[in-house]
Amino acid sequence: MKRDPVCGMEVDEARAPAKATYKGETFYFCSDDCRDQFLRNPDAYVAPAATARTTT
């Protein structure tokens, strides 16, 4: 299971209705709407997680 970076919903990668690749990483979404919102400004959803990983 992966977490949709936009809404936080858990998504099964094999059955995810939408996905996108950004900076070499694949992100899974619960809907096309969440994917589209992510694609409009991916750094707003990726940057906080990346910062948390590097400071832990």
More confident residue, 53 or 14: 14
Task: Indicate whether 18 pLDDT > 70.
Answer: yes
The domain tally of the chain equals: 1
> For the residues 35-56, what does the mean pLDDT come to?
75
Confidence tier at 48 by pLDDT (50, 70, 90): low
Cα-Cα-Cα-Cα dihedral of 37, 43, 46, 51, to 10°?
-150
Q: Which domain holds residue 15?
A: 2-55
pLDDT of residue 14: 96
Map residue 17 onto helix, strand or coil. coil
pLDDT of res. 40 = 97
How far is it, in rounded angstroms, from Cα 55 to Cα 39? 25
